[in-house]
Structure formats: C-alpha cells, structure tokens
Amino acid sequence: MSKQVMVPTLGESVTEATIGEWLKNPGDPVNVDEPIVSLETDKVAVEVPSPVAGVMGAHAVEVGATVEVGALLATIEDDVAAGENTDVEPREESPAQKQAAPASDGQGARADDGTLEDAAPAQAKIHDPEATQTMSPAVRRAVLEHGVDPTRIKGTGKDGRLTKEDVLAAAENKKAPSSAEAPAPAPAATAATQAPAQGDRREERVKMTRMRQTIARRLKSAQETAALLTTFNDVDMTAVIEAREKFKDTFAKKHDIKLGFMSFFAKAACLALKDLPSVNAQIDGDEIVYFDYVDISVAVSAPNGLVVPVVRDADSKSFAQIEKDIADFGRRAKDGTLTMEDMKGGTFTISNGGVFGGLMSTPIINPPQSAVLGLHRIEDRPVVRDGQIVIRPMMYIALSYDHRLVDGREAVTALKTIKEAIEDPMRMLIDL
C-alpha cells in the first residue's frame, strides 16, 4: 500500500511552485514528518514532509517542473519497513540526467554548480540510505560548492541537522589528503568536459529560480507603477553607540539577545510613521489604505535572494522583542526555513545595506508599500558642532517613497524625525 504526497497549500494567493530539490530518492527510508522535497515559491523555499513512515516511492515530477497546489509529488510505500528492499517504479531519465549519471568506470560526474567531483563520494552522499542526511537547500548548495562530505560533519542544528555554518567550518578545516590517501587518478577528461586552459573565456547559463524571477518582476513593476523619489539625510550615531556601549551587557543578560542598531531605527521609524500616516499607507486602486499599526518588513539576505520577513506590531514591541524577531529571521533565512506567513503583509520596509559596506543608495520600495528606509555604513567624518570641527560617527540614511501618495514635505519630515530620534533616543521614550 502506498501513500500519495500532494503539493500542500502554500499560502494566500500562491497557487503553484517549482520543484527545487528532491531530498529523498526512490528507495530511501523515510520517517514521519521528514522532509522529502523542497518547493520554491515566489517568496520562500518550502520543505514538504512525509505524512507516513516507510520507503520513498517514485517521484511524479522532476526537478525544475512547475506544480500546482494539490498536484501529486510522489508516493511513500508505507507498508514496507524502512531499510528493506522495495521495488520502485523507475522514472524515465532526461538526456541531461543520463549524461550526468556517474559512469561505472569512475569518471567524474558534473555537480549542480558546474564543477567536476569524484563520482564515488557523490554517490555515497546522495544514494546511500544510511549516509543520507536531510539538508535544507542552503546547506546542500554549500556542500556542493565546497566539496565536503556531509556524512562526516557533526550537525549543530535542531535534531542534529547540518547548518550552513557547519559546512563552512568543515570546509575551512578540510586538509589536502596525503599521498597514501589520495584517490586514484580518474581517466583523462574528454574534450567536451576538459577544464578550460588558463586565459580561456567561458560563460554559463543558469535558469533563474522562481524567487529571483519574482524579485525581478516585482521590482520592475515598482519602477513602472510608482512615482519613485528618494530623499537623504545624515545621522550622528554618537548617542546610540554610547547607549549600546553603556547597556549592552545588562541588556544581553536580561533579554538574552544583543542590543543592535535595527531596534533603534525600527522604533524611530514607528515614531515618524505615527506622525505621518501617508508614509505608512498604501494605494489600492483609487483608494488609499491607512494603517493604525506598523508592520515593518526587514530586508534579509537569503541564499536565493533578498527576502523581507515582517516584524508585526513593531510600534507596540520592546527593543528586545524587535531584536529577537530580527535575529530569528536572519537565522531562518540562512537555513531556508522562513514561511509564507513570515513574509505576508508589511506596511513599511527597512533595508540595511551598511552591513555590506554600502555608503549610500537609493532603495526601491516593496510594493504595495509606499516607502522604504535605507541604512548604510557608519564612518567617522568631520562635522561642525558649536562652531568647531569635530569627528563624529556618521551614517547616511535614505527614504525612497511613492510620490503618488507621499508628498516631498512629508517624506523629508519623516526622515528628519527618524534622524532626530536616533541623535536623541530620549525622544522615543517620551513620544517626540
């Protein structure tokens, strides 16, 4: 008896997804709720768990195929004990798969990233049931990129699962094998697979992921639909830096989280948005939707692109809770475990390009929102204070906004309010 695994409901208005990666191959043992396939939606990668324990049956669709909600993904043979032999209906392989399959003579097989790796280790990593580990898409990609054996890495994640940091640490510690341990040389590569000589020029074509296609479409739509404009200001970070230095140990001890800059800017933005509701509003057809709450989308870098999970009710949350939410989003973005619910909604966005060293930028709004705050790196610059030239830690901040809804006066005032709150954090405590 077999159990069918269907495409689950993926979230509001999401009707289809792309098969990103099969985490279990036909014949592999499967436990209840163990992920068997990763689906790429417009916003996140979703892992589909097995509804029963048993043995992985046939895959109904191939990697890269588009599937709709409710479509058949695979079958689980739940009447066969895990680890026993089972007859699995073979899938017809595409020409590309047949060419990439490891040959019996040990010739190198081509990995997903275009590099050559030895066929035997690849087979052990992917097809040996006892050595198979469930890995998120980000971890699996790191394994392929760095050429490490995941079965020899001790996972530090939940239930002993590997994290991207585990793979990177293993890659750092990886040493070249001694001559006694060195594998036998593979047969000479053919002209088709031979690595190009130094100085040769080459190019590679890679299909855009569904998430990257969505990012491209939404950002282009924002440019074509919204009347985008950006206003700038600079902020003296002295007061915030001093506050962090003074309270960082006490804050971390009490709340078990570090005090960062993002919570200051989130609370300062809430102060400005309450005073200027249009910056926190959205256009819906010929109507304007005003919100009496602030849900801040925080731009986070993920393996497949930029994602914007939402800190809900940021205006009523403490500094500590905002820091915890953002830290949790960052961890789950790296592991590829963010959900559609995490990304839903949002009335305003904060994007911190400063963590990558950016000095100044014109951030683009996240539709249908009407504004986005861009943060940048902090650097010592000469400024004039009380007629004297002094050195201060300064940051450029930018507010991009939809001029159809937000007037220039409102945008400049909002950015000025954020600047004043950061330079004098007491304003956030007494609502000024």
Distance CA 52, CA 63 (A): 23
What DSSP element (H or E) covers 5? strand 2-6
How many residues in the chain? 432
What DSSP element (H or E) covers 355? none
What DSSP element (H or E) covers 243? helix 238-255
How distant, in Å, are the alpha carbons of 146, 148, 152, 361 from that of 167?
8, 7, 10, 33
Distance CA 104, CA 173 (A): 31
Chain centroid to Cα 117, Å, comes to 27
CA torsion through residues 385, 388, 393, 399, sign = positive
Instruction: State which amino acid sits at residue 243.
Output: A
- What the block records as the tokens of 124 is 């052990």
Distance CA 126, CA 134 (A): 10
Radius of gyration, alpha carbons of the chain: 26
* 392 touches 367 (CB < 8 A): no
How distant, in Å, are the alpha carbons of 204, 238, 279, 375 from that of 391?
48, 10, 33, 20
* 88 touches 58 (CB < 8 A): yes
Instruction: State which amino acid sits at residue 421.
Output: A
Distance CA 135, CA 167 (A): 11
How distant, in Å, are the alpha carbons of 77, 238, 391 from that of 128?
18, 57, 61
Catalytic residue IDs? 403, 407
Nearest Cα to Cα of residue 368 among 292, 304, 308: 308
Distance CA 237, CA 35 (A): 45
SS3 112: coil
Distance CA 77, CA 147 (A): 32
Instruction: State which amino acid sits at residue 330.
Output: G
